[in-house]
Amino acid sequence: MSAPLCRLCRAELTVTFVDLGMSPPCESYLAADELDRGETFYPLHVRICSECLLVQLPAYISGEEIFSHYAYFSSYSDSWVAHAKAYVDDAAQRLGLGPGSFVVEVASNDGYLLQHVVERGIRCLGIEPAANVAEAALEKGIPTEVFFLGEESGSKVRSAHGPADLVAANNVFAHVPDIVDFAKGLRALVADTGRVTIEIPHLLRLIEGNEYDTIYHEHYSYLSLLTTQRVLAAAGLTVVDVEELPTHGGSLRTWSAPTEHAPQPSPEVERLLGAEAAAGLGTVEGHAGFASQVAEVRNDLLEFLIFCARRGETVVAYGAPGKGNTLLNHCGIRSDLVRFAVDRNPFKHGKFLPGTHIPIHPVEALAPARPDYVLIMPWNLREEISAQLAPVVTDWGGRLVVALPHLEVI
């Protein structure tokens, strides 16, 4: 059997970054009448390209299968909505956006970001492949079209609506199998004098923070600034500035311009490239060792849960995000160790986590259950969720737990 090919340079992928075994699609939540049916598990075998250094998961599942009907609604996270507003405020000031401007967001979800653009009276358009999520944005009065972005579809939008002064692609760049065609779509959308911003979880922080639960089938690429530059360059875009963000355990926001009109990159671009090189991300060998870090996280969590079970203490999970399903399936955790999960998203209530079949309830189920421990699955929202869960500690003496970057009882 031949090795899969790199989605950027087409070289054979022969080097393993980390192999998490087999797992079902992380957003494939089950109804009760589906529990006795078979589930399809796919490999979570992440490779690194020895030629261009792009860390990537082969497209075991197509983007259409994952994203045409989606269970993630961004507006359920208050901190994420606030993050989006701060971004819009900054971009408007930086680029001088006003009533005569045009903003496009790709993977616009339920309008969590563009609602702030609409409030400013700026013309905008959302592009969202999941029809059920796009409907939520349309109900808010946010213009939204349903399709997957590529060079051809981006050109059609430009012809119909004109070039965009700002194109935002937040936490979607890693979610596309054909990342070069997607980048060409971004170039097609943006005006020659405009800017494209991309937010991505930073591979350097993923490695440093043991953030292996961010590996799942809808995350096809795991990007550094170096590899992001290389993908964008293939589409005629040049990174002219970069910001480091605390979101998702450590992210990057790149600001790119059409190459033929790009100004000199800011010093921050060269500084961050140097930091990546110093950490080893400029070589294949510098990516080694992550698998052993992953094994340590798994072992610590299992030891804790088994210890609780033997003492008769109950553990439940807060949140049912995709990343949590990677962690639970990799560790082989079932409802004997984590009784149930709670989530704010009513779409998930009454359903079961894929693979593990742990039931999902509304957040209100916590108080009557009075668990001894609540395992926070979206650790990237640890501060926000810890504040929401204060009654667990004050009302019945429960404790909060996170598994990443290392096991910690808060």
pLDDT tens track for 378-402: 988 889 899 999 999 999 999 999 9
Give the H/E segment covering residue 63: helix 63-67
Q: Which two tokens stand for residue 207?
A: 């490695």
Chain segment 90-119, per-residue pLDDT in tens: 999 999 999 999 999 999 998 999 999 999
Domains 67-287 and 293-409 share a fold: yes
User: What residues of the chain score a pLDDT lower than 50?
Assistant: none
Q: Which two tokens stand for residue 5?
A: 């090919």
* Domain chopping of the chain, boundaries: 67-287, 293-409
For domain 293-409, give its CATH number from 3.40.50.970, 3.40.50.720, 3.40.109.10, 3.30.479.10: 3.40.50.720
Q: How far is 87 from 115, CA to CA, in rounded Å?
A: 12
pTM of the model: 0.88
Burial class (CB in 10 A: 0-12, 13-18, 19+), 163: middle
* 37 CB-near residues (< 8 Å, 6+ apart): none
384 dihedral zone (left: phi>0; alpha: psi -120 to 50; beta): alpha
Burial class (CB in 10 A: 0-12, 13-18, 19+), 117: buried
Peptide bond into 405 cis (omega under 30): yes
What's domain 67-287's superfamily in CATH? Vaccinia Virus protein VP39 (3.40.50.150)
Chain position carrying tokens 């208050």: 78
